[in-house]
């Protein structure tokens, strides 16, 4: 059995077809997996664990819980859109929260997992914003607001972010090669898996003379996709499978 990796689904009620596609994935390929790893941005946004009763959120969590109850280990790493997901979400969905980065063992080999946004070090404005909103002080202050106010602020931040991205050079929103070398060196591993950039690919590189690979996961805007890894290696797959 292979371990499966997904990220950047950006699930939300306004894209119900992607939500259905994800639930089909949980009931299909994920049921046969050694484990499923969700590497961030599962949701378009997450306003806090007190929003678990929202019908859409509840439906997604129920699908995850069913997978967990079928004895498939389920892991979640927060992304830049759902970093407020916490223990309440983990309990409701039946999953284990992972830090970013996380070093795990897949088919006997050490693999480094990241969401990927911390690798985009050329985007100074984003990195400053990320540091601010990930601080315990900001988190405590934000979660103290009423839920409807939080959602309104998140929507305003999303609109501002989209406007800023249109004004930024595309290259600064991709990973910095030096940042990739640094994490592979510091964690002493030869395989890195991440999402965030929405640029699915396999990148081969050498670190201290050793062959390494960086797998970038696909987003789920038009269709689904995932990475499957086992003892024979990794492969990017479409969901649903492309018609022959």
Query: Which tens digit of pLDDT belongs to each residue from 92-117?
Result: 999 999 999 999 999 999 999 999 99
- Cα dihedral 44, 48, 53, 58, rounded to 10, equals 40
CB 28 within 8 A of CB 65: no
86 inside domain: yes
Tokens, residue 198: 């929405």
Which CATH number does the domain housing residue 60 bear? 3.60.21.10
51 inside domain: yes
User: Given this model, what pLDDT does residue 164 score?
Assistant: 83
User: Given this model, what pLDDT does residue 175 score?
Assistant: 97
Element (H, E) at 6: strand 3-6
Question: Rg (Cα) of the chain, in Å, rounded?
Answer: 18
More confident residue, 173 or 230: 230
DSSP state of 195: -
Q: What are phi and psi of 216, to 5 degrees?
A: -110, 125
**pLDDT tens digits, 114-167:** 999 999 999 999 999 999 999 999 999 999 999 999 999 999 988 888 888 888
148 inside domain: no
109 inside domain: yes
As a whole-number percent, the residues of the chain with pLDDT over 70 amount to: 99
Q: How many CB atoms lie within 10 A of CB 181?
A: 15
**Tokens 């003892």 belong to which residue?**
231
Residue 226 CA to residue 239 CA, distance in Å, equals 7
Average pLDDT over residues 84-91: 98
What domain range is 218 assigned to?
Answer: 3-121+170-239
Inform me whether the pLDDT recorded for 244 exceeds 70: no
Beta bridge partners of 97: 76
pTM of the model: 0.96
* 44 to 12, 73, 132, 190: CA distances (angstroms): 6, 24, 20, 31
108 inside domain: yes
- Work out how many domains the chain is built from and give that number: 1
Positive or negative torsion for Cα 74, 30, 220, 183: positive
244 inside domain: no
Q: What are phi and psi of 36, to 5 degrees?
A: -120, 130
Nearest partner of 44 among 63, 18, 24, judged by Cα: 18
User: Given this model, what pLDDT does residue 194 score?
Assistant: 98
Tokens, residue 84: 């407020």
**pLDDT tens digits, 179-219:** 999 999 999 999 999 999 999 999 999 999 999 999 999 99
Residue 12 CA to residue 144 CA, distance in Å, equals 23
159 inside domain: no
Helices (H), the chain: 16-27, 55-69, 87-93, 124-133, 136-143, 147-167, 177-187
75 inside domain: yes
């Amino acid at each position: 059995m292979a371990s499966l990796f997904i990220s950047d689904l950006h699930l939300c009620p306004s894209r119900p077809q992607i939500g259905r596609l994800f639930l089909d994935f949980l009931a299909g390929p994920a049921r046969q997996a050694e484990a499923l790893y969700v590497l961030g941005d599962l949701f378009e946004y997450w306003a806090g664990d007190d929003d678990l009763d929202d019908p859409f959120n509840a439906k997604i969590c129920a699908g995850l819980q069913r997978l967990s109850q079928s004895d498939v280990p389920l892991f979640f790493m927060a992304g830049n859109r759902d970093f407020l997901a916490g223990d309440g979400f983990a309990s409701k969905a039946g999953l284990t929260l992972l830090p970013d980065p996380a070093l795990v063992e897949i088919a006997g080999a050490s693999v480094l997992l990241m969401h990927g946004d911390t690798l985009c070090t050329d985007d100074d404005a984003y990195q400053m914003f990320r540091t601010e909103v990930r601080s315990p002080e900001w988190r405590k202050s934000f979660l103290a607001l009423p839920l409807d106010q939080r959602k309104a602020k998140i929507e305003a931040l999303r609109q501002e972010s989209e406007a800023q991205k249109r004004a930024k050079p595309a290259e600064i929103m991709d990973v910095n090669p030096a940042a990739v070398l640094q994490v592979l060196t510091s964690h002493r591993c030869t395989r890195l898996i991440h999402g965030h950039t929405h640029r699915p690919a396999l990148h081969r590189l050498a670190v201290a003379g050793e062959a390494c690979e960086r797998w970038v996961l696909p987003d789920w805007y038009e269709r689904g996709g995932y990475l499957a890894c086992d003892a024979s290696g990794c492969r990017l797959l479409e969901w649903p499978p492309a018609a022959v």
